[in-house]
Amino acid sequence: MNTILRLLEDDSRLTPAQIALMCDKEEGDIRRMIADYEAEGIILGYKTLIDWDKTDREYVSALIEIKIAPQRDRGFDRVAEKIYNFPEVQSLYLMSGGFDLAVLIEGRTMKEVAYFVARKLAPIEDVISTATHFVLRKYKDKGVIYGPAVQDERGNIL
Amino acid sequence: MSFDYQSVLGHRVREINPSGIRKFFDLLDEMKDVVSLTVGQPDFVTPWHIRSAAIESLEAGKTYYTSNSGLIELRRELSAYLERRFDLHYRAKDELLVTVGGSEAIDLAVRGLVDPGDEVIIPEPCFVCYEPLVTLAGGKPVIVTTREEDEFKLTPALLRAAVTERTKLLILPFPNNPTGAVMTREDLEKIAEVLRGTNIMVLSDEIYAELTYGARHVSIATLPDMWERTVVVSGFSKSYAMTGWRLGYLAAPAPIVHEIFKIHQYGIMCAPTTAQFGAIEALQNGDPDIEMMAEEYNRRRKYIVHKLRALGLDCFEPRGAFYVFPNISGFGMTSEQFCEKLLYDYKVAIVPGTAFGSCGEGFARISYAYSIQHIDRALERIGQMIADLKSGR
């Protein structure tokens, strides 16, 4: 089962027909398995990796460390929910170590991000402090290196 | 000033035919937008931990020659590796020689064993180097044609028919490039039975040994009475995706290595030092890389065989390496004509079977050392050509 998930994680464009041939299975079975994964929330979506730095899109991303006071019974979940529901928030992780939540957010300008932190994140009840780190460059994401397109330079040797 | 170069060049080198496929590749290099399935090397980059070990060796200033035979640490790791993966037993000290790719090891073995006039049995289709190297050594290549109906295996009947009193060496290139054929233990036992009691040596080219699908590779040297008469050659190129590092090895009984060593010592001195340090890391920690790459090749293999068959191409199921060798004889064209038409009109490059011996006529080699999406782009165009041919266009 993990084979199919790993294949799709690596290339979500693979069709059920392709996966079936690669794994000696019936296409219908693969289709059903993928539908089950989706229904169970194991597969949550299919996205595309884009290096926006190669386009003219203006954007900035930041990693924000947040310290919070955990609430009785609900731990960090309630605060986390308040934060992840903002569409600006790309990722949110509960962390061990010197702070509690790591938020990855994207905005059009640094000002916009700073504004978001000051107006939306910091005022949330139980948030004790925030520290904003702007991303200067993305080198690698989801296992993919962000750089020049890779050319096939292998020589034909015979 | 005119100079008759033919009069100064040695007759042996003039006797060798240049690889016919070169012309085809030159053509390919000039064309744009071609989807190529021609390369004979992995599409993986050498795993980072191996590259990193090599870089560290450079940073530490390890830029010297090693001993002629290769770093003793590397030979110890090789010895352990061969035992661990293939139950092959060779002493690091005097039964292993580190070479510049498997290719040098093949050359060394041929030159070390073959005297002028000796016959060398070469099963074709096969990789292109054996026949010229035998010719250069003054030997006489005896070509044996393996057949699709035998799954391109060397059969005892074919071998027996080729053996004469002058037979010195049998070249055993399995898993095979270009057919993807493998020899099982039972297949090899039948070959061994023909060889026992003769003086015929075996050069077993096991460069694709880590890339077999369904069953582990068996070396003929593991069969009773065969270790003594076998020279195993292999390398790091295919199993660890290290083609550009040019590192291989030769494993044989000490008296053979002792003599062959001299050719290597005087002709090469030693294999590249940086590559040797990378190879130590590969052998120590690279088993998971081998498994990962082999699994990926296996998925592509299944995919491409299914697809080619669905396109109406007769396709023997390869059990090793990373090639398929479909039968394209049903289209009323020679292999070269078929591949040229595919290249010119449909912008897909595959290799005519005749590049691997005249018996490759009617076949073509397709490499699946490419991503599935790349393979699919090519197959779509191949499918278009077949459809056009069938509808008489």
Q: Which residues contact A156 (CB under 8 A, 6 or more apart)?
A: B25, B28, B29, B36, B38, B39, B40
Superfamily of structural domain B5-45+288-390: Aspartate Aminotransferase, domain 1 (3.90.1150.10)
Give the Cα separation of B133 and B145 in Å (integer).
19
pLDDT level of residue B23 (50, 70, 90 thresholds): confident
Name the token pair of A34.
Answer: 């993928």
Instruction: Check if the beta carbon of residue B100 is closer than 8 Å to that of residue B263.
Output: no
State what percent of residues in chain B have pLDDT above 70: 99
Domain boundaries, chain A: 2-39, 52-137
Domain boundaries, chain B: 5-45+288-390, 48-286
pLDDT of residue B75: 98
Instruction: Check if the beta carbon of residue B364 is closer than 8 Å to that of residue B352.
Output: yes
Q: Residue A21: closest CA among chain B residues belongs to which residue?
A: B303
Chain A residues with beta carbon closer than 8 angstroms to that of B376: 18
Name the token pair of B306.
Answer: 């299914």
Give the Cα separation of B200 and B315 in Å (integer).
34
Q: Does domain A52-137 have CATH number 3.30.70.920?
A: yes
CB contact under 8 A, A156 and B38: yes
Classify B48-286 by CATH class.
alpha beta
Q: Residue A154: closest CA among chain B residues belongs to which residue?
A: B39
CB contact under 8 A, A157 and B40: yes
Strands B119-124 and B140-145: parallel
Q: What is the pLDDT of residues B330-378, one digit of tens each?
A: 999 999 999 999 999 999 999 999 999 999 999 999 999 999 999 999 9
pLDDT of residue B70: 98
pLDDT level of residue B22 (50, 70, 90 thresholds): confident
Residue of B31, B39, B298, B365 to mutate when probing chain A, most A C-beta within 10 A: B39
pLDDT level of residue B1 (50, 70, 90 thresholds): low
How many Cβ pairs closer than 8 A exist between chain A and B?
A: 48
Q: What is the pLDDT of residues B225-275, one digit of tens each?
A: 999 999 999 999 999 999 999 999 999 999 999 999 999 999 999 999 999
Residue of B24, B372, B373, B374 to mutate when probing chain A, most A C-beta within 10 A: B372
Strands B248-251 and B323-324: unpaired
Find the mean pLDDT for residues B44-60: 98
In degrees rounded to 5, what are phi and psi of residue B377? Answer: -60, -40
Chain A residues with beta carbon closer than 8 angstroms to that of B355: 158
In degrees rounded to 5, what are phi and psi of residue A61? Answer: -125, 155
- DSSP code at position B372: H
Residue of B51, B306, B365, B375 to mutate when probing chain A, most A C-beta within 10 A: B306
Of B40, B355, B372, which has the smallest distance from its Cβ to A18's Cβ? B372
Of B38, B41, B303, which has the smallest distance from its Cβ to A18's Cβ? B303
CB contact under 8 A, B41 and A18: no
Instruction: Look over chain A and give the mean of its residue pLDDT values, rounded to a whole number.
Output: 94
Find the mean pLDDT for residues A101-105: 97
- Shortest alpha-carbon distance between residue A13 and chain B (Å): 9
Q: Is the pTM of this model over 0.90?
A: yes
**The complex's ipTM?**
0.86
pLDDT level of residue B191 (50, 70, 90 thresholds): very high
CB contact under 8 A, A158 and B21: yes
Q: Residue B242: closest CA among chain A residues belongs to which residue?
A: A154
Instruction: Look over chain B and give the mean of its residue pLDDT values, rounded to a whole number.
Output: 96
Name the token pair of A32.
Answer: 């059903």
Which one has a higher pLDDT value, B27 or A25? A25
- Shortest alpha-carbon distance between residue A23 and chain B (Å): 6
CB contact under 8 A, A154 and B372: no
Chain A residues with beta carbon closer than 8 angstroms to that of B373: 11, 13
Sign of CA dihedral B111, B117, B119, B124: positive
Evaluate if residue A1 carries a pLDDT over 70.
no
Q: How many CB atoms lie within 10 A of CB A144?
A: 10
Of A14, A24, A154, which has the smallest distance from its Cβ to B372's Cβ? A14
A34-43, A148-157, B324-333: segment of lowest average pLDDT: A148-157
- Shortest alpha-carbon distance between residue B151 and chain A (Å): 21
- Convert B214-233 to b/e letters by CB count within 10 Å (16 or more is b): eeebbbbbbbeebbebbbbb
Residues from A in contact with B at Cβ < 8 Å: 7, 11, 13-14, 18, 21-24, 152, 154-158
Residues from B in contact with A at Cβ < 8 Å: 19, 21-22, 25, 28-29, 36, 38-41, 43, 128, 243, 299-300, 302-303, 306-307, 351, 355, 371-373, 376
pLDDT of residue B17: 82
Give the Cα separation of B82 and B90 in Å (integer).
8
State what percent of residues in chain A have pLDDT above 70: 99
CB contact under 8 A, A11 and B372: yes
Characterise B309 by phi-psi region: left (phi > 0), alpha (psi -120 to 50), beta (else).
Answer: alpha
- Shortest alpha-carbon distance between residue A90 and chain B (Å): 29
pLDDT of residue B346: 97
- Shortest alpha-carbon distance between residue B300 and chain A (Å): 6
